[in-house]
Amino acid sequence: MLFNQRAETPSRLGVKREKLSELTNAFERDTKLNFQVAIVISGLRRVGKSTLLLQFAASLKNQKFHYVNFEDERFVGLKHTDLSQLHEVLIHLFGPAQTLLLDEIQVVSGWERWVRRLVDQNYKLIITGSNTELLSGDLGTKLTGRYRKIELLPFSFSEYLKLKNIDTKQQESVPLITHDRALLSSIFESYMFTGGIPIVADAYDPESLRTLFQDIIYRDVIARYKIRAVSAVRELGVMLASNIARPIAYKRLVQPLGLKGVSTVKNHVSRLESAWLFFVLNRYSRSIKQQQLNPKKIFGIDPALMRAVGIETGDRTGYLLENVVFLELRRFTAEIFYYITERGQEIDLFLPRSNLFVQVTFSLASTETRNRELTTMRAALEERPNSRGIILTMHEWEQVVLAGRTVEILPIYEILKPGNGREKFLSLIQSEA
């Protein structure tokens, strides 16, 4: 069998996050070289940043550290002028420590200068926050070249398998039998529909997801940016969640939302993106101006969250599949576009650095769908010399030759699960064209 249940009980600190090794390696390297840098972990609210921080703390073993969760209700009303006193209290109670783990410090207005001073004093800081603009203000200016940023996304499929206590053998030379493929496909479907947000990944809970969405909208968008058009921002979020993986022209959103103009829509979308709810993709063009003028393609931070919040307008499985693939790409690169051929055909995802086209479809069983997808991929490959392509579906395994290049057709779970399939996919993503 490919799968077996693990005998050990899950760690009290939850699923070991894949980003833990990156965090540990960065910390150890900076400490060894005596670099004066802060490590900043950014990600969606409730995505597991605190757990990652605690997993890292457990790995420190005998090294002393101070940990502060600034979202603890006992810190409500804390000001930046209180931070130095808080640090003194920590030293008084627990003794000196050169490592400080500061969880959600962004809730303290003006925290940047205190952090900068600690970095100057050679303290080792690891900071978490729920906004992509965590370093866009004073801290980013003052710490230019003196911080490392780590992005934490919801569970990958590999982490989801660990959550379910599923162990995948690594003997890739042995072909998967039909039973194994069916089981892995079933687990992947569960992952796609329950999502990777830790609080609900074990069982789909749409009400909890909708509550999380509203919490993020109000706390990380409306309150943070002091927005008065509350209902418009909330409706915009629902509208985007209902149209993931589809190109959207901002000008078409102005009238339905009752907003002043395209610039207002653009600003609100940017704020939703900063809160880690959505990702905005440009259509690929060598012209930056054209990238800005063309419709945007929107992806969600988690497919289950998009299902819970969005309005169902038919079968959305294909769009959810594409969203899952996008998130896997986004774990390793932010340079992702969608691509329109000269004939007007759309390639779902394009990575210009590696010259890789990625097409996602539920199935190629239909002759019409197969012809459309292969024709589109062929046209894209012909337009870009030395480009490569891959087509991902739910079940098919095949190789085809298009424009003189071999294109693999693979089940999505094959490039998401641990093993040679994922490693090969990562090599395609990360290689230079």
Residue from 191, 192, 231, 190 nearest 214 by CA:
231
Instruction: Give the relative orientation of helices 19-33 and 49-59 as an angle to the nearest 10 degrees.
Output: 50
| Residue burial 195-234, b: 16+ Cβ < 10 Å; e: rest | bbbbebbeeebeeebeebbeebbeebbbebeebebeebbb
CA dist., res. 156 & res. 426, Å (int) = 14
Contact 339, 380 (CB under 8 A): yes
CA dist., res. 20 & res. 391, Å (int) = 31
Domain limits, the chain? 19-152
Q: What is the pLDDT along the chain (433 residues), one digit of tens a residue?
A: 343 433 333 456 889 999 999 999 999 999 998 988 999 999 999 999 999 999 999 999 888 999 999 989 889 889 989 999 999 999 999 999 999 999 998 888 888 889 989 999 999 999 998 888 776 655 566 667 778 999 999 999 999 999 998 876 544 444 456 777 888 889 999 999 999 999 898 888 999 999 999 999 999 999 989 999 999 999 999 999 999 999 999 999 999 999 989 999 999 999 999 999 999 999 999 888 888 889 999 999 999 999 999 997 778 899 999 999 999 999 999 999 999 999 999 999 999 999 999 999 999 999 999 999 999 999 999 999 999 999 999 999 999 999 999 999 999 999 999 888 889 899 999 887 6
Strand partners, 100: 66, 125
The CATH code for residues 19-152 is 3.40.50.300
Q: Which amino acid is at 48?
A: G
Instruction: Give the relative orientation of helices 206-216 and 230-241 as an angle to the nearest 10 degrees.
Output: 130
CA dist., res. 332 & res. 416, Å (int) = 13
Contact 415, 315 (CB under 8 A): no
Query: Measured at the alpha carbon of residue 178, what is the angle toward residues 175 and 181, in degrees to the nearest 5?
Result: 80
Q: Is 41 helix (H, G, I), strand (E, B) or coil?
A: strand
CA dist., res. 132 & res. 226, Å (int) = 17
What are the residues whose beta carbons fall under 8 Å from the beta carbon of 290, sequence distance 6 or more?
A: 283
What's the whole-number average pLDDT of the chain? 90
What are the residues whose beta carbons fall under 8 Å from the beta carbon of 240, sequence distance 6 or more?
A: 248, 269, 272, 277, 278, 298, 300
Strands 99-103 and 65-69: parallel
Specify the pLDDT at position 323: 97
Specify the pLDDT at position 138: 53
CA dist., res. 203 & res. 160, Å (int) = 12
Q: Which amino acid is at 193?
A: F
Specify the pLDDT at position 169: 56
Contact 278, 272 (CB under 8 A): yes
Question: Within 13 A of 313's CA, how many CA atoms are on the CB side?
Answer: 12
Contact 360, 409 (CB under 8 A): no
Strand partners, 346: 340
What are the residues whose beta carbons fall under 8 Å from the beta carbon of 179, sequence distance 6 or more?
A: 1
Looking at residue 219, what DSSP letter applies?
I
Task: Enter the tokens of residue 47.
Answer: 């995505």
Specify the pLDDT at position 10: 40
Contact 162, 16 (CB under 8 A): yes
Q: Is 350 helix (H, G, I), strand (E, B) or coil?
A: strand
Contact 195, 154 (CB under 8 A): yes
Specify the pLDDT at position 147: 85
Specify the pLDDT at position 110: 85
Contact 321, 394 (CB under 8 A): yes
CA dist., res. 262 & res. 254, Å (int) = 6
Specify the pLDDT at position 312: 79
Q: Which amino acid is at 54?
A: L
Looking at residue 331, what DSSP letter applies?
T
Specify the pLDDT at position 172: 46
Residue corresponding to tokens 């993709």: 281
Q: How far apart are the first and last CA of the chain?
A: 38
Q: Is 244 helix (H, G, I), strand (E, B) or coil?
A: coil
Contact 358, 329 (CB under 8 A): yes
Phi, psi of 298 (to 5 degrees): -110, 135
